[in-house]
Structure 1
Amino acid sequence: MNQKGRVCVFGSFNIDAVVNVPRFPKPGESLIAHDSMTGLGGKGINQAIAASRAGARIHFIGKIGTDEYTDICHRMLDNAGLEIFTLFTAENVPTGKALIFVSDDGAENMIAVHPGANMTITHEEVERALKVVEASDILLTQLENNIDALQALIEKAHRESVYTIVNPAPYQPIPEPLFAKIDLITPNTTEAELLTGIEVIDRTSAEKAAAVLHQKGVENVIITLGSKGALLSHEGRTQLVPCIPADAVDTTGAGDSFNGALAARLADGDTLEKAVIFASAYASCAVEKHGTALTMPTMEEAQKKMSAYCEFV
């Protein structure tokens, strides 16, 4: 595989506890699950593995705690297939954890996250990470770490002309001067509303939200609209990329698969339009599998999906 670009993924590393249930429990109700698993998760590592399997050269940077999961985390990463990773460790702070319910009804999910060590990135760790960012072609990050660390990394990427993708999830406020240093921002409808104050329900409202993000200084905007596709806004025009059909069984990590695949294809030299189409196909494959990080699709699976459903191929 021709791997042109180097992608630094800086982000969260969690242990996921997933239960599959026929429906979501009501408040106060105990519900019998028909399956459960514990595995690797966190938006950062999810996106790193997706980008790697979609063809990119990856250096993942994250942080875990000092607890019963420390050794397990290292073993999981050793088996994740990433080219390079840097895993910092926090003293007296637990590893990030996510509790995930996946419902048979629509394959939807409910997630509660305790970020733990993810929110304790220190100045010294940022300094070590800056060297990796400088040597990369793309920086991909999210908002599941402390914002001061993310700000330092984005500012470094901007100074070094490293293309920066920010997936603003889970939402936390972004300092206004930072928007102009982000090359591409990828909110979903909820995050777009929180960032702009505009309720996003369709293409028209998504275009209005994208315009606000452009006014803040972001050059390129992709707003993911679930089953309605993804709105791409750049170079003074908008394009709605349709959702590629899927027989969904688990939508957990759908956005992470999209962002990882997007970064991989941009790193390989695809145009933004082509990268969004591939990312849509990749996410379509991802929701047809149970789990997140270690069940991310291969590039071949996404290409097959594109060939079956996409007129652009």
Structure 2
Amino acid sequence: MFSEERRQEIYTIIREQKKVKVAQLAEKFSVTLETIRSDLKYLEGEGLIKRCHGGAILGKQEIKKISKFSDSFDISCLLHDLLIVRERKDRKPEGKVCVLGSFVVDIIANVDSFPKVGELINSKSNSIGPGGKGTNQAMAASFSDAKVHLITKVGEDHFSKYAYKYLQESGIDSFTIFQTEIEPTGSSISYLADKTQNNITATYLGANNTFSEQEIDISLPYVSEADVLLLQGEINIEANIKAAMFAKSVNKIIVLNVAPYSEDLKQLYATLDFITLNANQASHWADIEINDINDATQAINVISGDENKKVIIYMDELGVVYFDGRATFHIPPMPSLRVDTMAATDAFNGAFASKIAAGGTMHESVLFASAFLSAFIEQKGVTAMPVLSQVQARLKSRLEDIRPQIICNEKRCI
């Protein structure tokens, strides 16, 4: 657990119980006695509590010291029990989405075109920003009007503090950050080619691949409270499996974005309601080269499997091909000015999960996600999410252009 979160919860416990014991806190948080003593010393230094033999009590002057405490981290930390909640005033969320996934620091180089083997080129600009499929999709779901809880993990490095600060200010309703000293915070290096707006990315997942069984157990109440559990392939498979099996046992809708592709993700098949992929990922899963809509339809026949899972394949400039359990449909891309396609599929998946959580049909949800994506790629940066009113207006004005076209009304029609 992130140290700021642990101290925040310790402070909340002391406010409620008035007195705590070091040993009890150490057992609760599964840390050493010395770690708890260090936390209590920090809180005492901020004037919030008073240490006593074997524990701590609430400081008499704690209210007067709040302004000092807020110098070190956000005042909202004092008002919530583990969670940082920042609801936008104009929002009335209709569905709840729990995202178990990655936080990654993105290092992006803008180039005219990709370098050839052995070629040294100059980039036009470099930037560092927040990313990771879990975080990106949580952002998209939040801006699509879902109430979102993100569960992620970082290292004990300078990027971890960046992650915590970013998520506090992101607009995501609430989050849980676990922390490890074994691996660093995840990071990725991307080349974005201005001429084609294509990108190549290499990611080191680091801490994201170290979720423990205990950490998932701690997170299960958030899964239970959600309508949809949204998963990707950027955390260790054991964590995904445990969360998915629990979600299925309590009748939650489970969406898996197969990104990046891994054979291990097929272990989740039995638990899934929706499987989303891009053409490259679908090609790997189905072992079919995908160049057109017919190829995508054949791939869907394989991916949906014996249980007729609902499948979505994002085809970039060819639109979306999807199977709703009975028939296969194609939606052409919504017209848009392509400015930045980084994290485009993350925008799609977050928006899709949000609409499903709100009770939308698969057709409604794919249409909404397509409109959200088309607005997203017209802005620069993976955090530049469109507002809901913008997406709704776009969807209403262009609905006739992108109505689903049925490809076949039987699963195996090609």
Q: TM-score normalised to the size of structure 1?
A: 0.95
**Would you say the 8 A contact 1:21–1:103 is kept in 2?**
yes
Any idea what the Cα deviations from partners look like across 1:145-164, whole Å, max 9, x if unmatched? 00111011111111111000
**Would you say the 8 A contact 2:150–2:176 is kept in 1?**
yes
| Pair 1:48-2:138 in alignment | yes
Query: 1:86-165 alignment to 2 at 5 Å?
Result: 86-165=176-255
Distance 2:322 2:182 in 1: 43
CA distance change for structure 1 residues 309 and 106 in 2, over 3 Å: closer, same or farther?
A: farther
CA distance change for structure 1 residues 216 and 10 in 2, over 3 Å: closer, same or farther?
A: farther
SS at match of 2:335: coil
Residue identity matched to 2:360? D
Partner of 1:64: 154
Residue identity matched to 1:121? F
Structure 1 stretches of 5 or more lacking a match? Answer: none
Which of 1 and 2 has greater Rg?
2
CA distance change for structure 1 residues 69 and 117 in 2, over 3 Å: closer, same or farther?
A: same
**Would you say the 8 A contact 1:98–1:113 is kept in 2?**
yes
Partner of 1:307: 396
SS at match of 1:307: helix
Partner of 2:14: none
Any idea what the Cα deviations from partners look like across 1:168-192, whole Å, max 9, x if unmatched? 0001113655312100000111111
| Pair 1:253-2:336 in alignment | no
Distance 2:97 2:295 in 1: 32
Of 97, 100, 108, the match for 1:10: 100
Q: How far off its partner does 1:48 sit? A: 0.2
CA distance change for structure 1 residues 216 and 167 in 2, over 3 Å: closer, same or farther?
A: farther
| Pair 1:297-2:386 in alignment | yes
SS at match of 1:140: strand
SS at match of 2:305: helix
Root mean square deviation of aligned Cα: 1.5
Q: Which has the higher contact order (CA 8 A, sep 6+)?
A: 1
Distance 2:192 2:395 in 1: 26
SS at match of 1:200: coil
Residue identity matched to 1:137? D
Distance 1:306 1:9 in 2: 25
**Would you say the 8 A contact 1:229–1:241 is kept in 2?**
yes
Residue identity matched to 2:385? M
Partner of 1:214: 304
**Would you say the 8 A contact 1:182–1:219 is kept in 2?**
yes
Larger CA deviation: 233-242 vs 176-185: 176-185
| Pair 1:274-2:361 in alignment | no
| Pair 1:238-2:328 in alignment | yes
| Pair 1:287-2:372 in alignment | no
Distance 1:218 1:42 in 2: 30
Q: How far off its partner does 1:28 sit? A: 2.3
Distance 2:146 2:166 in 1: 20
